Amino acid sequence: MQQVGRKRMIPRNIVASWLGLIVATLGSASILAAQTAAPPGLPSAIDLVRATVSNEAHASDSKIKHMFCDRKKTAQGSETHLFVETREGVAGMTIANDGNPVTSEQLHSEEERLKGLVENSDQLRRKQQKQKEDSDRSLSIVTAFPEAFRFKYDGTEEGTASLGRPGAHLVRLKFWPNPSYHPPSHVQDVLVGMSGFLVIDPKEHRIARIDGTLFREVSFGWGILGHLDKGGHFFVEQADVGEDSWEVTRMRLEFTGKILLFKNLSIKSDELFSNFQRVPSNTTFAQGVRLLEAQEAKLAETGEIARISKSQ
């Protein structure tokens, strides 16, 4: 089993803490074959999931880092960001709103915000700690899959540049709750109400897609803090972006509910991650900020910001 790549399955600064991890849509991919038994040469479904989840956990410790673009669409419009992974956390800046490059005043504001982080070590440490906590919660969801669900083979798909690896033979598995599973913490509570599909690269032991749905209302915080409504969905894809390094390439979130019993919760977003470029693994936050500023200037000069911010 290869232990490669980098990306924690669930995003970066997409939705605060564990709320951003919650649940799933039914798959939209083309199914090439339907089957419930293990295909020839492959282990049982649960053994494949266990091996893959184990490899995902190892991959989350990879030192490979990237700079990349993120285009996020919500009901309020769209924003395009540049991000860079550094040894002190992820640095990011907004480069476009609703398909239009930011103004010089807005860009100056972004640069000043980043300068403040560079000069304030306490604030930077808090940001780094928050990112680590979010990442740990994300990983705890994925590593719970083998115990939280039951699985069966459901077909195959072909990999693409944004799903797994181009031309790779991917397998699709259907999952549904394991009735004997008891979540060890409230972070995993959502799993008991989720069903859907996994798409796995069985050669690389990497998850190419998680795609499922909430088939019933799910409470969190003993039902006191709130709940998520039935029908909420979550969709995430990742791919090898070079040098056996895997990154999230797409995420869709759509769910409603209540927080503190009174405040309505409604999240609907669609994000595309692109233009991955490797950066040195020892890049500091200050160096990352300079990389962002240089890349923004380059994209603005070539007109690439408009293209990226209008991508589908």
For residue 95, is it within any domain? yes
In a domain, 288, yes or no: yes
| Residue at 255 is within a domain | yes
User: Is 245 part of any domain?
Assistant: yes
Question: In 3-state terms, what secondary structure has residue 235?
Answer: strand
pLDDT tens column, 201-224 = 999 999 999 998 999 888 766 555
Q: Per the domain annotation, does 129 fall within a domain?
A: yes
> Is the pLDDT reported for residue 37 higher than 80?
no
Q: Which domain holds residue 58?
A: 19-305
pLDDT at 152: 97
Task: Output the pTM of the full model.
Answer: 0.83
State both tokens at 187.
């972070």
In the chain, % of residues over pLDDT 70: 86
Partners of 209 in the β-ladder = 199, 237
State how many domains the chain has. 1
pLDDT at 53 over 60: yes
Q: Does a structural domain hold residue 9?
A: no
Residue 221 belongs to some domain of the structure: yes
pLDDT band for position 15 (cuts 50, 70, 90): very low
Tokens of 209: 């897609």
- Kindly tell me the sign of the dihedral angle through the C-alpha atoms of 189, 192, 197, 203: positive
Predicted confidence band of residue 312 (pLDDT cuts 50, 70, 90): low
Q: Which of 21-30, 124-133, 138-147, 167-176 has the highest mean pLDDT?
A: 167-176
Residue with tokens 């007109």: 303
Among residues 245, 101, 65, the alpha carbon closest in space to that of 93 is found at 101
Q: pLDDT-derived band of residue 271, with 50, 70 and 90 as boundaries?
A: very high
Confirm if 287 and 86 have CB atoms less than 8 A apart.
Answer: yes
pLDDT at 2 over 60: no
| Residue 234 lies inside a defined structural domain of this protein | yes
Strands (DSSP E) found in 178-306: 194-201, 206-214, 218-220, 226-228, 233-240, 246-259, 263-279
**Confidence grade of residue 104 (pLDDT, cut at 50, 70, 90):** very high
Identity (one letter) of the amino acid at 235? F
